Amino acid sequence: MTVPTGAAGPAGLISPRLRAGDRVRFVSPASRPEREHVTRGAEILSGWGLDVEIASHAFDSFGHYLAGRDEDRLGDLNDALRDPGVRAIVATTGGKGAYRIAGGLDFAAARRDPKPLVGFSDITILHLVLWQRCRLIGLLGPHAAWQDWYGSQAADALRRALMQPEPVTVHQDPGELTAKVLIEGRSSGILMGGNLDTIGRSVGWACPSFDGAILLIEDVDKYIGAMDRTLTQLLECGCLDGVRGVAVGQFIRSADQRPGKWSIVDLLYDRLGLLGVPVLGGLPIGHGAHPPTIPLGATATLDTNTRTLTIEPGVQ
């Protein structure tokens, strides 16, 4: 099943919407989650009538930051991709480690039976490589290890993104630091991206072309120099050639404004201004409270006049 993307690029694989009784698999491709948080996530999704399963190695531990050995985490994810009864896959958490297994995904299974993968932060690498290799539309959304700061608003947004095919509109939050970043214009394209640092780490092996795309970026706990290096890398390697617009989410605890020092606002103007495309900051997407669920790989329209990012459904 495909959704047309017009001039923005090739059609993407869009998954069927979820319905009551469908099976959902929780997997841990990156770091180890807290068991009680996963239990809470399972309760929420079960309350929507979904049949929640937890992968065999979801609570394994290897080293001090991985949810088990690479082969076990990869095996759990590929089992979910290959199982025709599993209709959605939700990462339990991000952290570190998804990049270690991204190249081993069963891309043939993903193409044969598209199903949405939900997750953000380190899970960005999986969204990128699944688009690069399969054109699979994913969902940048809260993890299954449900945190208190997600809340009912985030739960409802995730439910609608999985079960109700309708466009998602994200409005600028004037209270976000990056709301000061604005280069006027309106553009449409395929929404791609996620965590900025992870996008940079994907260059050369898992990073798709952003030609014809609206690039979404966000990050947390990063120094100004590290973000400068990543943005410059993306510019110099040609990854951003043909980008149609940039949607700027939250940059939490990352170069706030201080006297005599560059802030994230200064850096984004300096780097993104070179692209000559519309840029809209202040979108409440990222590591903050009440995260929305955003389809990645779907057609989006960025409009600085209305201060909105509108994305077509990620399921049908």
Q: Would you say residue 7 lies in a domain?
A: no
34 shares a domain with 158:
yes
My answer on whether 159 and 220 are in the same domain is no
The structure tokens listed for 301 are 């329209």
CA angle 95, 66, 154 (to 5 degrees): 35
Whether 17 is covered by a domain: the verdict is no
Sheet with 279-280: list strands edge to edge.
168-171, 308-311, 299-303, 186-195, 213-220, 245-252, 279-280, 182-183
Query: Which positions ≥6 away from 298 have C-beta within 8 Å?
Result: 3, 12, 14, 137, 190, 191, 311, 312, 313, 314
Q: Which residues are catalytic?
A: 121, 218, 287
Strand, coil or helix: 75: helix
pTM of this structure: 0.95
Cβ atoms of 80 and 52 within 8 Å: the answer is: no
Domain boundary among 163, 189, 205: 163
The pLDDT, as a whole number, for residue 7 is: 32
Tell me which residue range forms the domain holding 34.
23-163
Query: Do 197 and 247 reside in the same domain of the chain?
Result: yes
Domain final residue pick, 105, 128, 163: 163
Does 15 reside within a domain? no
Domain count, the chain: 2
Claim to verify: residue 181 and residue 301 sit in the same structural domain: yes
**Residue 258 confidence (pLDDT):** 84
pLDDT block averages, 10 residues each, the chain of length 316: 36 95 98 98 98 98 97 98 98 98 98 98 98 98 96 98 97 97 98 98 96 98 97 97 98 89 96 98 97 98 98 98
- List own/partner pairs for 61-65 with CB under 8 A and 24 or more apart: 61/32, 65/31, 65/32, 65/95, 65/96, 65/97
HSE-up (13 A, CA, CB side) for residue 174? 1
- Tell me, what CATH number does 177's domain have? 3.50.30.60
Q: What pLDDT is stored for residue 6 in this prediction?
A: 32
